[in-house]
Chain A
Amino acid sequence: QVQLQESGPGLVKPSQTLSLTCTVSGGSITRGSYFWTWIRQPAGKGLEWIGRIFISGDTNYNPSLKSRVTISVDTSKNQFSLRLTSVTAADTAVYYCARESVDMASHDYWGQGTLVTVSS
């Protein structure tokens, strides 16, 4: 059973960089046809797709965040990561990592989510 777990600071100061890591267990991140994705959800609001990475290193980002986002993968640790620069209060949200199956074109496994608050 594949499991994903987000980790990283729960509090980030405005203008600084948000960094999160997603650790994948129960299967190799290099096996199969999957995209590894980040999605966020502000409190009481809907879901926003941030971006994804394929194991080849190819990435796709939401244009609304593209100038500030980097997603990378570390196959040796079975992890992928999110960096979001120049954060503001509007970036406060629960951040989820998820696996997107190429076959299903949808997200079949999710982490539990981690709350990141941007505040001084």
Chain B
Amino acid sequence: DVQMTQSPASVSASVGDRVTITCRASQGISSWLAWFQQKPGKAPKLLIYDASSLQSGVPARFSGSGSGTDFTLTISSLQPEDFATYYCQQSSSFPVTFGQGTRLEMK
């Protein structure tokens, strides 16, 4: 299985801050990477697919980059509704695997 490792496990930030979350794959996955946002009690929401493509309806303050093994999700200016847990997911090979999650908390 491809192991997906996210860092940090948690981060504290304030409204207006720029936040970057990293995801590293245990082997090359080209651009077969997605990012999800999950709030408590809710299903994950797709933010980014193909490593850098913004899902329809997702605010432009979210962006993704990377290819191969190293990827980042950046939130350019945090809004109150962005405090949540974020997961990366690879779909390069079976089984599809997710990172362990990064919890974004309010400072």
Contacts and interface: CB of A to CB of B under 8 A. Distances in A.
Q: Which of B1, B32, B53, B89 has the most CB of A within 10 A?
A: B89
B49 A104 contact: yes
B96 interface: yes
A106 B50 CA distance: 8
A96 B94 CA distance: 18
Contacts, number: 57
B43 A62 contact: no
Contacts of B74: none
B34 A106 contact: yes
B97 A49 contact: yes
Nearest to B94: A60
Given A46-B100, A47-B87, A108 B46 contact: yes
Contacts of A106: 34, 46, 49-50, 89, 91
Contacts of B100: 46
Given A47-B44, A104-B49, A64 B32 contact: no
Query: Chain A contact residues (Cβ within 8 angstroms of B): what range?
Result: 20 to 34
Interface stretch (A8-16, A75-83, A109-117): A109-117
Interface string A89-120: 00000001010100011111011110000000
Contacts of A104: 34, 49-50, 53
A98 B89 CA distance: 14
A32 interface: no
A113 B98 CA distance: 17
Closest 7 CB pairs of A and B: A110-B43, A106-B34, A49-B96, A62-B95, A106-B49, A47-B98, A104-B49
Interface of A: 46-49, 60-64, 96, 98, 100, 104-108, 110-113
Interface of B: 1, 32, 34, 36, 42-46, 49-50, 53, 55, 87, 89, 91, 94-101
